[in-house]
Amino acid sequence: MIKPKNFAQCYLYGLTNTEGDVVEKSLFEFLMTAQRINVADQSFKPILTELKSRVNNAIVIRMLQQGNVVLGLAKKEVPATFKVMAAKDPRDGRKEKIFVDVTGLITYQNGFFVCKEIDRLATYMLGVMVYQIYNKDPNKLIRNGAVQKYSVSGFVKMFAAELDYLRLTGFMNNRNRIMYIAGVYFGYSVMGLDIAAARKTSAAVVTTIGQFSSQEAKNADYYYEEEELKNINTFINSITKTFKLEGLTTDIFVDRWIYLYGKGSHFAVELYPVFLNTVIYAYSGTYLNNMKRIESVLGRDMIELVNAVLKIGNDMFAVGFRYESGIKQYYAKDTKITEAVSRELFDDIKKKALEKFNEAEEELNPQEISKDAVKDESVKMVKLLLL
């Protein structure tokens, strides 16, 4: 069985905290103090009505219907990568929920909530759908033949397009080998396939994309060790050394990936739901990333992958669906907290949250916590809460 992977397990997550753990403090503040919108309240009805009239896929409304989806308004937006994220709710017994930061997207005017970009909100709901499926049963995504094929193919194409852009010495002479190993890395480390399945899928993809035989794929397996595929850093270091890709480092790779594909997209190289959402956001046409470039790189793969994921989501959340009933049932109790949260209340919430953290501290893997991060309780709490 494939188990979900979270942000804290990613190599890149540690790199986001180079300036005073800003990311974790931002996430902690959002989880603890953001105003939570009651989507069953009359004040939200104009947005719900507009969503129903604008979207052509009912899954968007179905996501608002789920009892574990939280729309939050904060004083400051969280980084782009975390606009939609899965985490344990410190304000509700650490229950697993999907949080959507709608700060700057939704405002409160004259007694009603107003969304200035309804299509963008709908796209975020598709991102919620991906996390719902991934955290409930990642096998529904990853074991699906079409999803598996077009995910690996999509990553390989995006990876190769970046190395083409960098014009690295040594890449063109080993293009197919490197693309194949990139596909194995993605299938094994990002999707969570066993190494044999990752190799099989990558070989099938690369033989379709380029002039590459199954025998050449087997030969290419001698160019890396399984341990070198554990994260994006070990993978980049491995191919750089093996194929003498002069000038390529993990920092350069991540920097160029963001430049090419958009702010917040870099976790796509380590966390599968972020990769899927990178593609879905590009497909949606709402300019949440560099969608034109992604579309040109992926071509038909983008359409095939998104359609396959949407089918899984629609099948998974179609049972007993009604627009209103589920929303009203969950939000019968008002969960809103005003923006003017007092310092005393925040300190009390933080104290209780930290007590929960101390009770569960033994469950943490010390290797997932940097030496700098353990200095701040809020940093430790976020690592515990992230799914």
pLDDT tens digits, one per residue of 212-260? 888 999 999 999 999 999 999 999 999 999 999 999 999 999 999 999 9
- pLDDT, position 151: 98
- pLDDT band with cut points at 50, 70 and 90 for residue 26: confident
Whether the per-residue pLDDT at 140 is higher than 80: the answer is yes
Q: What is the pLDDT of the chain when averaged over all its residues?
A: 85
Whether the per-residue pLDDT at 198 is higher than 80: the answer is yes
Residue positions counted in the chain: 387
* Same structural domain, 253 and 326: no
* Same structural domain, 301 and 373: no
Picking from 316, 348, 377, the residue at the C-terminal end of a domain is 316
- pLDDT band with cut points at 50, 70 and 90 for residue 324: very low
Q: Rounded CA gap, 239 and 182, in Å?
A: 9
Residue 43 lies in a domain: yes
* Same structural domain, 293 and 328: no
* Same structural domain, 289 and 347: no
- Paired residues of 88 in beta bridges: 96
- Residue 70 has φ and ψ, to the nearest 5°, of -120, 120
Tokens of 243: 């194929």
* Same structural domain, 145 and 130: no
- Paired residues of 36 in beta bridges: 72
- pLDDT, position 96: 94
- pLDDT, position 86: 95
* Same structural domain, 200 and 233: yes
Tokens of 43: 């004040």
Whether the per-residue pLDDT at 274 is higher than 50: the answer is yes
Picking from 259, 293, 316, the residue at the C-terminal end of a domain is 316
Picking from 316, 332, 348, the residue at the C-terminal end of a domain is 316
Residue 13 lies in a domain: no
The number of folded domains in the chain is 2
Whether the per-residue pLDDT at 173 is higher than 70: the answer is yes
Containing 377, the helix (H) or strand (E) segment is: helix 377-385
Q: Rounded CA gap, 206 and 216, in Å?
A: 10
- pLDDT, position 387: 67
- pLDDT, position 319: 58
Q: pLDDT tens across 294-313, in order?
A: 999 999 999 999 999 999 99
- pLDDT band with cut points at 50, 70 and 90 for residue 374: very low
SS3 content of the chain, % helix, strand, coil (to 5): 65, 10, 30
* Same structural domain, 310 and 181: yes
Mean pLDDT of 306-327: 71
Q: Rounded CA gap, 303 and 301, in Å?
A: 6
Residue 28 lies in a domain: yes
Residue 9 lies in a domain: no
* Same structural domain, 284 and 199: yes
Nearest Cα to Cα of residue 179 among 144, 152, 143: 152
Whether the per-residue pLDDT at 347 is higher than 80: the answer is no
Residue 5 lies in a domain: no
CA dist list (Å): 242 to 11, 30, 52, 237, 248: 21, 43, 53, 9, 12
Residue 293 lies in a domain: yes
Pairing of strands 112-115, 69-73: unpaired
Q: Which of 118-127, 326-335, 346-355 has the highest mean pLDDT?
A: 118-127
- pLDDT band with cut points at 50, 70 and 90 for residue 342: very low
Whether the per-residue pLDDT at 341 is higher than 50: the answer is no
- pLDDT band with cut points at 50, 70 and 90 for residue 56: confident
* Same structural domain, 38 and 76: yes
Beta-carbon contacts of 175 under 8 Å, excluding residues fewer than 6 positions away, are 160, 210
Residue 37 lies in a domain: yes
Question: Which of 358-362's residues contact partners 24+ apart within 8 Å by CB, and which partners?
Answer: 360/384
* Same structural domain, 198 and 343: no
CA dist list (Å): 22 to 15, 67, 79, 196, 245: 11, 30, 10, 39, 33
Residue 377 lies in a domain: yes
Range of the domain at 176: 139-316
- pLDDT band with cut points at 50, 70 and 90 for residue 211: confident
* Same structural domain, 147 and 188: yes
* Same structural domain, 257 and 369: no
